[in-house]
Structure 1
Amino acid sequence: MTSQPKSHGEFSSSPHGEMTPAQVSQDPGLRRDAIDWKQVAVLSIAGCGPASVIALNLQFMGAFAGAALVLAFLIVWPGILLLVNTFAEFSKRLPTTGGLYTWNSRAWGKNIGFVYGWTFIGAYMVFSAAGFAVFGGWVEQWLDSQFGISLPWWLFTAVALAYVCALAYLGISQSLHAALSLLAIEVVVLLSLALYILITGPSDGSSLGIEPFTPGAAGAAGWSGIGLAMTYAVLSHVGIEEGATLGQEVKDARRGIPKGLWVAAILVPAFYVLVSYAMVYGYGIDAMDEFGLDPAPLQTIAQDYWGDVGLAIVVIATLSSILAFSQTAFIAGARVLYTLGREGVLPRWLGGVSSRSTPARAIVVMGVVSIVLGVPLAFISGPFNVWGYFGFLISIAFLVSYIFTNAGMIRFMRSIGEFHWFRHGVLGVVGSLIFVYPLYKTVWPLQDGTYGVLPFVYLGWIVLGVLFLLYTRAKRPEVLDSIGTFLAEGDDSIPEPHPVHRHAPDEDRRA
Structure 2
Amino acid sequence: MSQSPLSSPRKRDDDAASSSVSGATLQRNSLSWRHVTLLSLAGCGPAASIALNLQFMGQFAGLSLVFAFVMVWPALLLFMNSLAEFSRHVHSAGGLYAYNLRTWGAKFGFVYGWTFMGAYMVLASAGFAVFGGWLSEWLDSQFGIGVPWWLLTLVALAVVTALSALGIAESMRTSLVLVAISVLTILALAIWIIFTGGDSGGSGFSGKPLVPAGASSLGWAGIGLAMTYGVLSHAGIEEGTTLSEEVKNPAKNVKRGLWSVAIVLPAFYIFVSYALVHGYGIAKIDAFGQDPAPLQTVALHYWGEVGLGIVVVAAIISILGFSQAGFIAGTRVLFTLGRDHVLPKWAGRSSARQTPANASIAMGVICVVLGIPLGLIVGPFNVWGYFGFLVGIFFLVSYIVTNIALIVFARREGFFRPIRHGLLPGLAALIFIYPLYSSLWPIPPGEYAILPWVYVGWVLLGVLLMLITMKRRPEVLDRMLSDENKW
- The TM-score, its normalising length taken from structure 2, stands at 0.95
Instruction: Tell me the equivalent position of 1:57.
Output: 53
Q: Note the alpha carbon deviations across 1:158-207, whole angstroms, 9 max, x for none.
A: 11111111111111011111100001101110110000000001134253
Q: CA deviation at 1:136?
A: 0.4
Out of 281, 286, 301, which is 2:283 matched to?
286
Instruction: Tell me the equivalent position of 1:340.
Output: 337
Q: Which is richer in helix?
A: 2
Structure 2 residue identity aligned to 1:255: K
Instruction: Tell me the equivalent position of 1:498.
Output: none
Contact 2:404/2:429, CA 8 A, preserved across alignment: yes
CA distance in 2, matches of 1:174, 1:428: 35
CA distance in 1, matches of 2:83, 2:67: 25
Instruction: Tell me the equivalent position of 2:43.
Output: 47
Change (3 A) 1:482 1:379: same
Structure 1 residue identity aligned to 2:29: D
Instruction: Tell me the equivalent position of 2:248.
Output: 251
Change (3 A) 1:485 1:173: farther
Q: After the TM superposition, which of the residue ranges 203-212 and 234-243 deviates more from structure 2? A: 203-212
CA distance in 1, matches of 2:390, 2:186: 27
Contact 1:303/1:311, CA 8 A, preserved across alignment: yes
Q: Note the alpha carbon deviations across 1:259-312, whole angstroms, 9 max, x for none.
A: 000001011101000000001001111111111111111011000000111111
Instruction: Tell me the equivalent position of 1:392.
Output: 389
Structure 2 residue identity aligned to 1:237: H
Q: Secondary structure at the match of 2:218?
A: helix
1:23 aligns with 2:27: no
Q: Note the alpha carbon deviations across 1:352-394, whole angstroms, 9 max, x for none.
A: 1112211011000000000000000000000011000000000
Instruction: Tell me the equivalent position of 1:402.
Output: 399
Q: After the TM superposition, which of the residue ranges 161-170 and 266-275 deviates more from structure 2? A: 161-170
Contact 1:72/1:229, CA 8 A, preserved across alignment: yes
Instruction: Tell me the equivalent position of 2:6.
Output: none
Q: CA deviation at 1:20?
A: 2.9
Instruction: Tell me the equivalent position of 2:131.
Output: 135
Instruction: Tell me the equivalent position of 1:260.
Output: 257
Q: Secondary structure at the match of 1:73?
A: helix
Change (3 A) 1:151 1:487: farther
Q: Note the alpha carbon deviations across 1:440-499, whole angstroms, 9 max, x for none.
A: 01110111111011000000001100100110000000000122555666xxxx6xxxxx
Unaligned runs of 5+ in 1: 1-12, 495-511
Instruction: Tell me the equivalent position of 2:183.
Output: 187
Change (3 A) 1:317 1:486: farther
Q: Note the alpha carbon deviations across 1:66-117, whole angstroms, 9 max, x for none.
A: 1100000000000001111100000000011000001001111111111000
CA distance in 2, matches of 1:17, 1:133: 39
Instruction: Tell me the equivalent position of 1:86.
Output: 82
Change (3 A) 1:403 1:248: same
Alignment of 1:345-494 (within 5 A): 345-485=342-482
Contact 1:30/1:359, CA 8 A, preserved across alignment: yes
Instruction: Tell me the equivalent position of 1:166.
Output: 162
Instruction: Tell me the equivalent position of 1:4.
Output: none
Change (3 A) 1:350 1:162: same
Q: CA deviation at 1:149?
A: 2.0
CA distance in 2, matches of 1:364, 1:316: 28
Contact 1:19/1:349, CA 8 A, preserved across alignment: no
Change (3 A) 1:296 1:22: same
Change (3 A) 1:19 1:428: farther
Contact 1:95/1:488, CA 8 A, preserved across alignment: no
CA distance in 1, matches of 2:16, 2:383: 36
Instruction: Tell me the equivalent position of 1:506.
Output: none
Structure 1 residue identity aligned to 2:228: T
Q: Secondary structure at the match of 2:155?
A: helix
Instruction: Tell me the equivalent position of 2:268.
Output: 271
Change (3 A) 1:16 1:450: farther
Contact 2:22/2:483, CA 8 A, preserved across alignment: no
Structure 1 residue identity aligned to 2:42: A
Out of 219, 222, 241, which is 1:225 matched to?
222
Change (3 A) 1:235 1:485: farther
Contact 1:36/1:250, CA 8 A, preserved across alignment: yes
Unaligned runs of 5+ in 2: 1-9
CA distance in 2, matches of 1:144, 1:14: 58
Q: Secondary structure at the match of 2:77?
A: helix
Contact 1:19/1:348, CA 8 A, preserved across alignment: no
Over the matched positions of the two proteins, sequence identity in percent amounts to 56
Structure 2 residue identity aligned to 1:404: V
Contact 2:60/2:216, CA 8 A, preserved across alignment: no
Q: Secondary structure at the match of 2:198?
A: coil
Instruction: Tell me the equivalent position of 2:235.
Output: 238
Contact 1:88/1:258, CA 8 A, preserved across alignment: yes
Q: CA deviation at 1:439?
A: 0.2
CA distance in 2, matches of 1:259, 1:89: 11
Instruction: Tell me the equivalent position of 2:301.
Output: 304
CA distance in 2, matches of 1:125, 1:18: 30
Structure 1 residue identity aligned to 2:476: V
- The TM-score, its normalising length taken from structure 1, stands at 0.91
Change (3 A) 1:19 1:463: farther
Alignment of 1:138-153 (within 5 A): 138-153=134-149
Give aligned pairs, total.
477
